[in-house]
Amino acid sequence: MGGPVEILPFLYLGSAYHAARRDMLDALGITALLNVSSDCPNHFEGHYQYKCIPVEDNHKADISSWFMEAIEYIDAVKDCRGRVLVHSQAGISRSATICLAYLMMKKRVRLEEAFEFVKQRRSIISPNFSFMGQLLQFESQVLA
């Protein structure tokens, strides 16, 4: 199963399994979680800071409407010298999409470059087709 992967020194990507393992979270110095699902519980309210983005992993879901809020949340954690775990059920589609949007916005990189960067760290990422389309649209806004 492995642990969550470090995308940036303050940004980690993982699954619901990782989010339920307090030992893992504490070992990584995680202070906050960004739960990108509508059905994963927040196990340790009161111990960590939580933010929920209730998005389903399907082609109808509009995840891009959450991009700016998610990016601001990650930055707020970073500004407090915290570390945030972005997770969804499997850590493959929804949470990966948020991490990609963050990298594109903050590092001013194209989707292709962000995707390779994250895939090197978590090889199983695979945002659904619709999310990839929303990321491409976001890329044109960010790099305009």
pLDDT in tens, 86-129: 999 999 999 999 999 999 999 999 999 999 999 999 999 999 99
pLDDT of the residue at 144: 87
Q: How confident is the model at residue 2 (pLDDT cuts 50, 70, 90)?
A: confident
pLDDT in tens, 85-96: 999 999 999 999
Asked if pLDDT for residue 19 goes beyond 70, the answer is yes
Classify burial at 135, counting beta carbons within 10 Å of its beta carbon; exposed 0-12, middle 13-18, buried 19 or more. buried
Residue 102, CA distances (Å) to 12, 19, 20, 67 in order: 12, 20, 24, 8
pTM of the model: 0.97
CA distance 134 to 111: 11
